[in-house]
Chains A and B, each alone.
Chain A
Amino acid sequence: MIGIISYLTFFLTITAVLAIAVLGLNLQWGNTGIFNGGVVAFFGTGAYVMVILAGPERAGEFGGFGLAWPLAMIGGALGAGILAFIVGLATTRLRHDYLAIATFGIAVAVEVFARNATFWTGGAKGIRGFERPLEAFISNPFVYGLFYLTIVLAVILLVYLALERLVRSPFGRLLRAIREDETAARSLGKYPARVRLQAFVLGAIIMGLAGGLYATFYAFISPQDLAPILTFQIWAMLIVGGAGNNRGAIAGTFVVWGCWVASGWALSSFAPADVQIYAGTLQYILIGLLIVGMLLAKPRGLLPEKLAVSTHSFEPVTPAKATQAS
């Protein structure tokens, strides 16, 4: 029983960490329509900067500042934000697929940098992290798992509430206005370029936060964690959950990541021994089928965006009311 709870704790922790990144993407894509194809760049920057800031000294390599963990987390998130600011400025004129390709390129560049700049990032062998916060005081790994889950849940709750508030605010409406029609937004005296940059940086900061939590949890980060598959996974989670809906983003993470690991578990438990070798390949097919099936059943995601078109302005135009008035 303890085993199941222990695994569930672990599963929920990773899911929640990924969900934070999905929330970041939801702000960018779901609300503002910014096609970020390089999620992993911001996730990874957050992770690396956090580990370098808080980590122990490494022989002949940069880092070892031993900063307090919360500060390092903020540093990591800011690092991701700064990268997003530079990328956002550089790609300010790009939209849709062009932006996707440009950001994908940034992600590859970040991965290649991490793999080769041994002095800064430890190269391909990665950086070993540090004792997780307060781990020295909670020696039981099971209890510590629950404790860390609480931290991650607190962060995701904070991010969720902040984003909910943000998307319901006038700024949130402005984001959606830009998503739907930039020219129209501009005609109303708004600056789409500036707002897009703000949303992009904010989303990246949230992704950086997720990266920091991820590297803290594993106490390790290497370029292998920055593979493009992560960007794909985050996108799949958002699309399945429902772009534009924060609760959908979180639900999508649970469903996609849950299916991802459950399919591996199911195959290893139920497939006959001689098929086991091919179970990994079968798993990919299952995951693909699952995502396609989900999208066929719910094309707008599990929890689609509630189109909160300002109801007041539409009231007089509804036919029923119109007849009443006349």
Chain B
Amino acid sequence: MSMKTTTLWGALALGVCLPAAPALAQDCTVKIGAVLPTTVDWGRPIAATAQFAVDLFNEAGGVKGCKVEMSLRDSQVDPKIGVDAAKALVDLEKVPVLLGAVSSGVSMPILTSVTVPSKVMQMSCCSSSTAFTGVAEEGKTDGLWFRTFATTRNQSAVAALLTQERGYKKVAIFYKNDDWGQDIGKLVQADLEKLGIEVTSSTAITDGQSSYRSEVTEALKTQPDAIYMALYPSEGTLVTREWISLGGTQNMVVANALKSDEYRDNVGLKYLGNLVGHDSAQPRTASAEDFVALYKAKFNAEPNGPGLPNSFDAAMIALLAMQASAESTGPAIAASVGRVTDPAGEAIFPNKEGLEKAIKLLDEGKNISYQGGTGPVTFDKNGDVSAPAVAWAFDESGTREVKYFTLDEVNAFIATLEK
């Protein structure tokens, strides 16, 4: 081995070993696993928010008096890596609860090949695919699967409602060409058509292209009076710019993934006056404002990225369920989720005082109703949430809420669509 390589190996060994494990404050620790795409720009804040929830919980005393440690692993948005990380967390670190993943294409193999066989509870902040509902309905999740992101079904109905309210008659759809985008694109189209609104085109947008001129031109030919976009900020920016520069309408309805300052700044606020977005998160409740205030105090920024309140709630509910559960096993914790999200229980806001109260109530055997960043959360039998919805628009400071749809309004509207 030459000199050069020896140095290289040395540097490598140093790099791995130098950051020593931090000393533990309390004498006992409880572990919780997380598999999130921290190599991706929008994934990093999701992980930071989950860690923030864990820190808050520790300030309030931790789970059963023990300090919670979140073992975070990167999924690299690669199913192989994500499943391996999940398996390592479950087998080596013995976590009873796993947070993650973000992409449905990573969450699904983790669910089928790691968490369900090993009886570990899995709670995702952001996987929205309707495929999970199908798996749960077949009884293949053993009640171990939860997600705090309203299913695409819920989102598409609100998108259709917003389109109808604004009186648009002909709509062109752009959707991200991944599992989430295909799902929501198809559902929105079906819902719009049910409302008698014509869908002039439905175009898949594959990310990573430098231009979407041909896709945009094709859609433009159909002369819609509004567009619907289920895109992420990077490709959404390009599509919107090209759409507007080619003379397309500025009447836009967009999914929550575009609720970002990056998108607003890169397109320019003056073109986004007629844009309205939908989101399942941040309803006009005290708890949602509480979350925004908490987030601002911690990160000194608005929680504008996709999935942030959802990630916060996923971690919090998991931790509260661990507190509520007599045993520290996946099935026992999963069974305790109902105690934490009981609408009849006492309302709990996830700040330090609220958490201290929640821990006390749970220890007394009482149920609580968790009210977090996405409002009062309740899971149905498939582990899905039906969240209230909110319409939002961009303004100088970020985003503002336009209209709030309560849970009942959303459910009633979905019912009329499915008649």
Contact = CB atoms under 8 A, between A and B. Distances in A.
A65 B16 CA distance: 49
Contacts of B104: 125
Contact of A265 (B5, B88, B177): B88
A11 B84 contact: yes
A227 B131 contact: no
Interface stretch (A92-100, A201-209, A276-284): A276-284
A87 interface: no
Interface stretch (B44-52, B161-169, B301-309, B379-387): B44-52
Interface string B80-113: 1101110110011010000000011110110011
Given A14-B80, A118-B182, A219 B112 contact: yes
Contacts of A264: 73-74, 81, 84-85, 88
A133 to B, nearest CB: 14
A225 B105 CA distance: 8
A147 interface: no
B94 A3 contact: yes
B91 A4 contact: yes
A7 B19 CA distance: 25
For the complex, would chain B's binding face be called helix, strand, loop or mixed by DSSP majority? helix
Given A279-B38, A280-B37, A293 B73 contact: no
Interface stretch (A171-179, A182-190, A267-275, A316-324): A267-275
Contact of B8 (A14, A218, A229, A293): A293
A260 interface: yes
A220 interface: yes
Interface string B4-40: 1100110110011101111000000000000001110
Contact of B177 (A115, A126, A128, A273): A115
B179 interface: yes
Contacts of B8: 289, 292-293, 296
Contact of B112 (A10, A14, A218, A277): A218
Nearest to B33: A268
A118 B183 CA distance: 11
A7 B89 CA distance: 9
Given A223-B105, A277-B44, A293-B5, A270 B19 contact: yes
Contacts of B117: 141, 144
A218 B22 contact: no
A6 B118 CA distance: 10
B51 A276 contact: yes
A7 B73 contact: no
B318 interface: no
A313 B78 CA distance: 50
A224 interface: yes
Interface in A273-325: 273, 275-284, 286, 289-290, 292-293, 296-297
Given A125-B104, A281-B38, A220 B109 contact: yes
Given A124-B182, A289-B12, A275 B177 contact: no
A289 B9 CA distance: 9
A290 B13 CA distance: 10
B379 to A, nearest CB: 22
B377 interface: no
Contact of B19 (A4, A229, A275, A292): A275
Contacts of A222: 79, 105, 108, 179
Contacts of A297: 1-2, 5, 9
B74 A283 contact: yes
A169 interface: no
A231 to B, nearest CB: 12
Interface string A241-275: 00000000000000000001101111111111101
For the complex, would chain A's binding face be called helix, strand, loop or mixed by DSSP majority? helix
A91 interface: no
Contacts of A265: 73, 88, 92
Nearest to B11: A289
Given A118-B182, A271-B19, A124 B83 contact: no
A280 B74 contact: yes
Contacts of B108: 126, 128, 220, 222
Contact of B109 (A141, A218, A276): A218
A268 B19 contact: no
A224 B79 contact: yes
A278 B38 contact: yes
B76 interface: yes
A10 to B, nearest CB: 5
A279 B72 contact: yes
B356 interface: no
A246 B106 CA distance: 31
Nearest to A125: B179
Contact of B16 (A230, A261, A270): A270
Contact of B88 (A7, A125, A218, A284): A7
22 contacts: A3-B94, A4-B91, A115-B178, A125-B179, A128-B108, A218-B79, A220-B79, A225-B80, A230-B80, A266-B16, A268-B72, A269-B21, A271-B19, A272-B19, A277-B72, A278-B38, A280-B38, A280-B76, A281-B38, A283-B76, A292-B8, A297-B5
Given A277-B47, A283-B74, 18 more contacts: A11-B84, A115-B206, A125-B131, A125-B182, A126-B131, A128-B108, A218-B83, A225-B105, A230-B80, A265-B88, A268-B73, A268-B85, A270-B17, A271-B19, A275-B19, A276-B47, A281-B38, A296-B4
**Would you list the 8 A-B pairs with minimal beta carbon distance, nearest first?**
A280-B74, A224-B105, A7-B91, A280-B39, A280-B38, A141-B117, A124-B179, A222-B105
Interface of B: 1-2, 4-5, 8-9, 11-12, 15-17, 19-22, 37-39, 44, 47-48, 51, 71-74, 76-81, 83-85, 87-88, 91-92, 94, 103-106, 108-109, 112-113, 117-118, 129, 131, 135, 177-179, 181-183, 204, 206
Interface of A: 3-4, 6-7, 10-11, 14, 112, 115-116, 118, 123-126, 128-129, 141, 144, 217-220, 222-225, 227, 229-230, 260-261, 263-273, 275-284, 286, 289-290, 292-293, 296-297
